[in-house]
Amino acid sequence: MQKLIDPFNRNITYLRVSVTDHCNYHCHYCRDEDHVINTTRNEIMSYEEIATVCRLFSELGVTKVRLTGGEPLLRKDILNLATKLGQIPMIDDIPISTNAHLLAPIANQLKAVGINRVNISIDSLDKKRFKQITRGGDLDKVIQGIDAAIAAGMTPIKLNMVVMRGINDDEIEAMVDFVIARNIDIRFIETMPIGTAGIDAVGHHYSESDILKRMHTHLPNRLLATHSKQTAGPAKNYSIKNSRSSVGIISAVSNNFCSNCNRVRLTAKGRLILCLGQENSISLRDAIRANMSDNEIKSMIISAINNKPERHEFNTNINNINNVQMVEIGG
């Protein structure tokens, strides 16, 4: 089997697929207040096109495809896409990232079609604050979604909290207690300076070391660093003694973990983005619509991977801003 190895000897095995750039939430740090999505239906990749891209990637060694967005659960018949992807033999892991607003009614069905694990964004446990951060989100719905995922037997379930100084950093401990009570996991994410979203990522920066200090004080002698294959990824992970929960910290700003990067991203409009923090991309949608052969498209993918940037520059150039907003890239 051919592999996708980039010039920095990184093996690309993970594709993040944004299935829509629409979102029912409007989080401050993710997109501008006046950010309007006016994508037409024809611009968005069809499920057949997404499945084709995923199949071609799988023939090049990709085994994991994450569904993200925008909000993936907004896309009609998302179960059909999950089913199609589940039929691609080499893809053995199809997690989803969601804000969980629409998760409760569909959690069992997602599990049934092979979406075994889920990452859920939740930045506050205070209803009013949650509404402010998400510009209108409903915390009750999200907690119902989390509990439905637990009841459906999805595992692991990871909550993602973007920690912002002066906005929600006082909730780190409450969030940890929340996950311990539910036997699920939490990941704290440093705010990344992406797109032109209306958050001051520098002013609100809350560093990995500050988060860790707080965790050690809150859970004295209970945090154990873990380095298992299962936890491979950008997060530094800790298990919590006497609990089934774990904590991860994704410190894209304090640290540069690009040397282990194993992923690329497909936007809803079919652009293959090679690095979250850099702008170079190619259009796989246009290649499919131009009726290029599988081999021609695979060659395009291979040459794109040969141009994968070595690293993002969030920590050296905090103003390094993409024209695309996070809501379009999918996190």
Other CB atoms within 10 Å distance of the CB of residue 174 = 13
Residue 13 vs 160, nearer CB to ligand SAM = 160
Closest approach, Cβ 73 to ligand SAM, in A, equals 8
Min separation Cβ 319 and ligand SAM, Å: 13
Question: Which residue's beta carbon is nearest to the bound ligand SAM?
Answer: 331
Rounded CA-CA distance 189/164 in Å is 9
Q: Closer to ligand SAM by CB, 16 or 55: give it.
A: 16
- Cβ at position 93, least distance to ligand SAM in Å: 17
Q: Which residues bind ligand SAM (CB under 6 A)?
A: 23, 29-30, 68-69, 71, 97-99, 121, 160, 162, 189, 191-192, 194, 197, 326-327, 330-331
* Beta strand 14-18 pairing with 157-163: unpaired
Nearer to ligand SAM, 18 or 60 (CB): 18
Residue 326 Cβ, how far from ligand SAM at the closest point, in Å?
3
Cβ 291 to ligand SAM shortest distance, Å: 31
CB of 224 to ligand SAM, least distance (A): 25
Q: Among residues 26 and 55, whose Cβ is nearest to ligand SAM?
A: 26
Supply the minimum distance, in Å, between the C-beta of residue 190 and ligand SAM: 7
The identity of residue 161, as a single letter, is M
Q: CB-based contacts of 98: which residues, under 8 Å, 6+ apart?
A: 69, 71, 72, 73, 118, 119, 120, 121, 145
Extended beta strands in 164-243, E state: 185-190, 223-226, 236-240
Map residue 171 onto helix, strand or coil: helix
Contact status, residue 112 vs residue 139, Cβ threshold 8 Å:
no
Using the minimum distance from each CB to ligand SAM, give the nearer residue, 69 or 248. Answer: 69
Whether the upstream peptide bond of residue 193 has omega within 30° of 0, thus cis, is no
Residue 240 or 326: the one with the smaller Cβ distance to ligand SAM is 326
Structure tokens at 26: 């409007």
For the chain, how many residues are written?
A: 331
The alpha carbon of 38 is separated from its chain's Cα centroid by a whole number of angstroms, namely 22
Q: Looking at beta carbons only, is 78 or 194 nearer to ligand SAM?
A: 194
Handedness of CA 276, 280, 324, 194 (dihedral sign): positive
- Alpha-carbon distance of 47 to 5, in angstroms, equals 27
Q: What is the largest CA-CA distance in the chain?
A: 59
CB-nearer residue toward ligand SAM: 251 or 287: 251
CB of 1 to ligand SAM, least distance (A): 30
Amino acid found at 224:
L
Q: Do residues 306 and 300 lie in contact, with contact meaning Cβ atoms separated by under 8 Å?
A: no
Q: Which is nearer to ligand SAM, 160 or 168 (CB)?
A: 160
Task: DSSP for 20-74, please give it.
Answer: -S--S---TTTS-TT------GGGSPPHHHHHHHHHHHHTTT--EEEEESS-GGG
Q: How far is the CB of 23 from ligand SAM (least distance, A)?
A: 6
